Amino acid sequence: TVEGAPKQIFPNLEELVSKYEKPGQGLVIHLSNPMMRSGFCPRGRRMKLEMNVYENTNEDYVDILP
């Protein structure tokens, strides 16, 4: 990591990709070595994250929140 940058640990690949998918963001180096999972991440947490991604509207389309 870059000196002074906070260490970030992502519970899954989807959250890591969502962090760096916006234009102008990216990883400085390529990911090459997977890390073994140190703990269990319950599925309920993932469901809560997915539920907060969209704003509820009465339209045919949904607005993605930042």
User: Which two structure tokens, joined as six digits, stand for 51?
Assistant: 């539920």
pTM over the 0.85 mark: no
- pLDDT tens for each residue of 30-60: 666 776 766 665 554 555 555 555 555 556 6
Average pLDDT of the chain is: 66
What is d(CA 53, CA 5) in angstroms, rounded to the nearest whole number?
26
Per-domain residue ranges of the chain: 13-64
